[in-house]
Amino acid sequence: MHAHPDDEAIATGGTMALLAAGGHEVILITATDGAVGEVEAGFLADGETLAEVRHRETHAAADLLGVAQVVMLGYGDSGMMGTDTNEDPGCFWQADVEAAAAALAARLTALGVEVLTVYDEIGGYGHPDHIQVHRVGHRAAEMAGIAKVYESTINRDRVEDLRAAAAAQQAADGDPDVEMPEFDDDTPELGTPDEHITAAVDVSSVMHLKRAAMLAHASQITEDSWFFSMPESVFEHAFGTEWYVQKTPPVHPGTPRADSLL
């Protein structure tokens, strides 16, 4: 379960591709239409909406990853925390958690879902729709009796490793102009500390599929975006492992970190 079109490719695309290649039925649930995303001037055709484009992009990315079914819940995109779009009554942030969870639980049951991924309690980086995926997803899983529930998360300790690796690679390449995201005192705390992560899925063998799925979301992720401006080795360091915390059933302290969600 993801908040917006493109979240799936970035956060769990490799895991999805591996599971699909292993013969498992992978279902992508996307909560919002992504209509508040930014898009370059002239990208949309006359009369075309960003929601329509992102719907097509989601299906294209899902096909690349081997996803069997895409379920789009149809909530409005809430935008970044603190913006006026948070108050839109049709946005996901404003959805009643119990009602949204009950509707989702019915779908999960009908689909026969056995393993569900949501987000951690801060939604990775504090986006309201990501936080709502955590709330609604966990409650729906409880209602539906899902056997295994994981939180997809950012490895907080690896973020600094990434920045250091990028800086070193840039220095070695003599290219100081490669754009990297900036984090400062106003940036929300990211993800989960390494010590609390219970599953790390190595997706290096399907990085070509993950990368292609990310690029399928062309309205949001362009070839000159910061994702792809970083050297390939740094890109693989950043996105070649996907991180999870197993919540159901709970993992006992000292249990070896899993390398799969099954």
The tens digit of pLDDT for each residue in 107-120 reads 999 999 999 999 99
- Compute the mean pLDDT over every residue in the chain, rounded to the nearest whole number: 92
pLDDT band at 166 (very low <50, low <70, confident <90, very high): low
Tell me if residue 84 falls in helix, strand or coil: helix
pLDDT band at 227 (very low <50, low <70, confident <90, very high): confident
Domain 7-248 top-level CATH class = alpha beta
Rounded to an integer, what distance in angstroms lies between the CA atom of residue 233 and that of residue 63? 26
Tell me if residue 172 falls in helix, strand or coil: helix
Q: What are phi and psi of 176, to 5 degrees?
A: -80, 0
Q: Which tokens in the block code for residue 184? A: 């400062």
Predicted structure pTM score = 0.91
60-69, 81-90, 185-194, 224-233 — which is least confidently predicted?
A: 185-194
More confident residue, 95 or 234: 95
140-144, 151-155, 237-241 — which is least confidently predicted?
A: 237-241
Residue 40 scores a pLDDT above 50: yes
149: left (phi over 0), alpha (psi -120 to 50) or beta: beta
Rounded to an integer, what distance in angstroms lies between the CA atom of residue 2 and that of residue 86? 18
Give the rounded percent of residues in the chain with a pLDDT score beyond 90.
79
More confident residue, 67 or 181: 67
Residue 86's contacts (CB-CB under 8 Å, 6 or more residues apart) are 78, 79, 93, 94, 128
pLDDT band at 229 (very low <50, low <70, confident <90, very high): confident
The DSSP bridge partners found for residue 71 are 29
Domain boundaries, the chain: 7-248
Q: How many CA atoms lie within 13 A of 151 on its CB side?
A: 28
Map 119-161 to HEC letters. ECCCCCCCCHHHHHHHHHHHHHHHHHCCCEEEEEECEHHHHHH
pLDDT at 176: 54
- State the Cα angle at 154 between 148 and 156, rounded to 5°: 125
pLDDT band at 81 (very low <50, low <70, confident <90, very high): very high
Residue 147 scores a pLDDT above 50: yes
Instruction: Give CA 261 to chain center in angstroms.
Output: 16
- Over range 170-182, report the average pLDDT: 59
Residue 185 scores a pLDDT above 50: no
Residue 178 scores a pLDDT above 80: no
- Over range 229-256, report the average pLDDT: 90
Q: What are phi and psi of 257, to 5 degrees?
A: -65, 130
pLDDT at 170: 65
